[in-house]
Amino acid sequence: MSEIVFEHVTHRYDGDEVLTDVSLALTERRIGIVGANGSGKSTLARLINGLVHPTAGRVLVDGLDVARNGREVRRRVGFVFTNPDNQIVMPTVREDVAFSLRRFKLDATDAAARVHRTLERFGLTELADRPAHRLSGGQKQLLALAAVLVAEPAVLVADEPTTLLDARNADLVERHFAALDEQVILVTHRLESVESFDRVLVVEEGRIVADAAPADALSAYRSLLR
């Protein structure tokens, strides 16, 4: 597993402190992050991929400072967004998955084989030549996941990947997440999604207010909601 370290990380946005002095070391295979809207949990996730940089402190992924080694870190850390429409770049399913490999300059045969394997892994082979914008919400999110994982990152960060999906599609996407070999950091509002995880962080007003096994962390979060 990769080691993700937050060293006294503070992040300010438009003068507001979104995260305050967060220090963590994340090494578990399944890590959940829960919290209310605006609590800072998405910012915490974005810091791992270098989509935002700390105002103070630093984030390290396997010893690499995310702010200084963004490219290298993004090879190790994939990111799935809430809205897959924003993540899909190419017109068809196959092309969008293949697009992620362009930066690696792979041999065409190797790239095609990797794309084929990934499409199969996510049950997208039948849809390979379909226009991506005509897929269902669940299929689009699976495509977004496939497009990230074809690049074989060690860590997958997902920011509320099921929020825009109906219950059936959310279950479908979560089943795929559960089956992943990669280290997963999942930001979610669906508390049942992280019940079987190794560790859950509860974020409230920019601070980690609970950091424990799911039972204890979720109980702390539920008491905050009351």
Binding residues for other proteins (CB under 8 A):
49-51, 70-71, 74-75, 78-79, 81, 83, 85-92, 95, 98-100, 102-103, 129, 131, 133, 147-148, 151
* Shortest distance in whole angstroms from residue 160 CB to other proteins: 13
Nearer to other proteins, 152 or 204 (CB): 152
| 34 neighbors 163 (Cβ within 8 angstroms) | no
User: From CA 151, how far away is CA 80, in angstroms rounded?
Assistant: 13
* Shortest distance in whole angstroms from residue 116 CB to other proteins: 14
Nearer to other proteins, 111 or 194 (CB): 111
Nearer to other proteins, 184 or 202 (CB): 184
* Cβ contacts of 12 within 8 Å, gap of 6 or more: 18, 55
| DSSP annotation of 119 | H
Nearer to other proteins, 53 or 58 (CB): 53
- With H, G, I as helix, E, B as strand and everything else as coil, classify residue 211: strand
* Shortest distance in whole angstroms from residue 87 CB to other proteins: 4
Q: Per-residue DSSP letters for 136-181? A: -HHHHHHHHHHHHHTT--SEEEEESTTTTS-HHHHHHHHHHHHT--
Nearer to other proteins, 79 or 221 (CB): 79
Nearer to other proteins, 177 or 221 (CB): 177
User: From CA 215, how far away is CA 197, in angstroms rounded?
Assistant: 10
* Shortest distance in whole angstroms from residue 43 CB to other proteins: 13
Buried-state track 98-134, b at ≥16 Cβ within 10 A, e below 16: bebbeeeeeeeeebeebbeebbebbebeebeebebee
* Shortest distance in whole angstroms from residue 103 CB to other proteins: 5
* Shortest distance in whole angstroms from residue 148 CB to other proteins: 7
